[in-house]
């Protein structure tokens, strides 16, 4: 099995068995070495492939020496076994987002870890937990996230008189920069109680209650129409069977003739979402195909104006997160040693580094899309006929 993996991956690596024997795969110096400490880890790897290996790593029955990212890249490139497919189906039955209360619990499981956890390794001060935008010359995560927000604002022609809704607003980074730089007012919509409470206090601390608000509600709870709809990193949390109603809600939030943007992780083709991500990171997450998203947008009366693929921008974003996560782990762990234990650390470094390799892969089918849309067919006066406004030097 190991020889077959080596041939498909074209990567030199070594495996140390529980009895101490060493098996080398490929030619040249090993890029990484997997050390199996127990027979249980060996059995899990043989029967469940990369999922069994990773979960043994989480339980400290496996260690990886050398290039951890290369090891994950090799693992993710392998075919998922039948057992993993069955477990993915069972996971969906247990963790579906069909019920809003369950969807809220799924969101809180990941996003409810607290500002003290996220602040050390996200950009300061916006704390954007989505893909940055890294045009040539970008030097830091902070610059990349500012570039991303400004890019979005230009795409939807955000103006001072506009009132926007930020669906899945996180820590409010988009809201604060859009208001500070452009003067637009808006509402953030979020299902995670911990983020809502922090953001509400932050809005009050800045004295922006008249301009910015945050509402704790499901993404499908439409209260009114807005001039602009911003959805950054939310669609992946719609759930496996909830894509039509969540897209429909995005359309209902938008005024006729208004503009919006969908920024989301999507598959090129229809594929199962990786079991590791669903089981250990995002309980209710589901990555839709770009084609299915466009079909649902058409069904909801939305016109697609522009699609940009930012896949290459996610790897450096995740690289920066992973580096900062590792650097600040001692400070994170001391906040709550029981919650932030060694197993948690191993899961999260696998998630951050593994996703960076996934987006970096030349053969990957997981991408990052930004779709600009209008409600109904846009007229020449409603949107520029060219794309120069996206890249003109800022006045």
- Sorted by where each begins, the domain ranges of the chain are 2-79, 98-390
Q: What is the Cα–Cα distance from 392 to 252, expressed in whole angstroms?
A: 32
Predicted local confidence at residue 49, as pLDDT: 85
Please say whether the beta carbons of 234 and 192 come within 8 A: no
pLDDT tens-digit readout, 116-142: 999 999 999 999 999 999 999 999 999
Please say whether the beta carbons of 239 and 286 come within 8 A: yes
Angle of CA points 298, 303, 306, to nearest 5°: 120
Q: What is the Cα–Cα distance from 1 to 334, expressed in whole angstroms?
A: 41
Complete DSSP assignment for 335-377: H-TTTS-HHHHHHHHHHHHHHHHHHH-TT--EEEEEEEEEESP
Please say whether the beta carbons of 153 and 182 come within 8 A: yes
Reduced to 3 states (helix: H, G, I; strand: E, B; else coil), residue 212 is strand
φ, ψ of residue 105 in degrees (nearest 5): -65, -40
Please say whether the beta carbons of 17 and 2 come within 8 A: no
Single out the residue of 118, 226, 230 nearest to residue 169, CA to CA: 230
φ, ψ of residue 119 in degrees (nearest 5): -55, -40
**Element (H or E) spanning 189, and its range?**
strand 185-190
Please say whether the beta carbons of 266 and 288 come within 8 A: yes
Q: Which residues pair with 166 in a beta bridge?
A: 188, 230
Tokens of 207: 């004295």
Please say whether the beta carbons of 232 and 168 come within 8 A: yes
**Helical packing angle, 311-335 and 342-360, nearest 10°:** 170
Predicted local confidence at residue 391, as pLDDT: 85
Q: Which fold would CATH assign to domain 98-390?
A: Rossmann fold (3.40.50)
Spans of the chain, pLDDT less than 50 = 395
Kindly indicate whether the domain formed by 2-79 is annotated with CATH number 3.40.640.10.
no
Q: What is the Cα–Cα distance from 197 to 61, expressed in whole angstroms?
A: 39
Task: Specify burial of residue 29 (Cβ count, 10 A radius: 0-12, 13-18, 19+).
Answer: exposed
Distant-in-sequence, close-in-space partners of 315: CB < 8 Å, separation ≥ 6 = 356, 357, 359, 360
**C-beta neighbour count of 60 within 10 angstroms:** 13
Q: What is the Cα–Cα distance from 242 to 110, expressed in whole angstroms?
A: 19
Reduced to 3 states (helix: H, G, I; strand: E, B; else coil), residue 127 is coil
Q: Given this chain, do its domains 2-79 and 98-390 carry the same CATH topology?
A: no
For CA atoms 45, 50, 52, 58, the dihedral sign is positive
Q: Which residues pair with 226 in a beta bridge?
A: 254
In the chain, % helix, strand, coil (3-state, to 5) comes to 45, 20, 35
Single out the residue of 228, 141, 221, 138 nearest to residue 178, CA to CA: 228
Single out the residue of 360, 351, 361 nearest to residue 313, CA to CA: 360
């Amino acid at each position: 099995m190991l020889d077959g993996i080596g041939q498909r991956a074209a990567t030199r690596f070594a495996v140390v068995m529980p009895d101490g024997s060493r098996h080398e795969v490929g030619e040249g110096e090993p890029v990484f070495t997997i050390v199996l400490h127990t027979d249980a880890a060996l059995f899990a790897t043989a029967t469940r492939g990369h999922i069994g290996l990773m979960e043994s790593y989480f339980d400290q029955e496996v260690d990886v020496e050398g290039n951890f990212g290369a090891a994950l890249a090799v693992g993710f490139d392998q075919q998922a076994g039948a057992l993993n497919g069955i477990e993915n189906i069972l996971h969906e039955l247990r963790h579906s987002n069909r019920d809003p209360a369950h969807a809220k619990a799924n969101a809180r499981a990941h996003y409810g870890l607290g500002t003290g956890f996220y602040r050390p390794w996200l950009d300061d001060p916006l704390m954007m937990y989505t893909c940055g935008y890294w045009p040539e010359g970008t030097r830091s995560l902070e610059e990349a996230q500012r570039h991303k927000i400004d890019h979005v604002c230009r795409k939807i022609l955000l103006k001072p008189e506009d009132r926007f809704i930020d669906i899945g607003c996180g820590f409010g980074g988009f809201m604060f920069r859009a208001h500070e730089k452009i003067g637009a007012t808006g509402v953030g919509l979020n299902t995670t109680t911990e983020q809502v409470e922090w953001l509400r206090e932050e809005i009050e601390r800045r004295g922006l209650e008249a301009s910015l608000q945050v509402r704790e509600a499901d993404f499908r709870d439409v209260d009114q129409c807005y001039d602009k709809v911003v959805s950054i990193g939310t669609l992946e949390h719609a759930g496996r069977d909830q894509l039509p109603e969540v897209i429909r809600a995005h359309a209902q939030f938008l005024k006729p003739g208004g503009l919006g943007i969908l920024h989301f992780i999507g598959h090129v083709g229809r594929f199962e979402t990786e079991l590791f991500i669903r089981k250990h990171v995002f309980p209710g997450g589901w990555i839709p195909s770009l084609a299915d998203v466009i079909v649902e947008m058409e069904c909801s009366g939305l016109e697609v104006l522009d699609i940009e693929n930012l896949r290459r921008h996610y790897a450096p974003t995740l690289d920066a997160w992973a580096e900062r996560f590792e650097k600040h782990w001692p400070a994170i762990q001391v906040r709550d040693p029981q919650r932030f234990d060694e197993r948690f650390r191993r899961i999260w470094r696998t998630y951050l580094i593994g996703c960076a390799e996934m987006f970096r892969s030349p053969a990957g089918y997981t991408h990052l899309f930004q779709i600009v849309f209008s409600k109904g067919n846009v007229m020449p006066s409603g949107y520029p006929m060219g794309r120069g406004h996206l890249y003109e030097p800022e006045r």
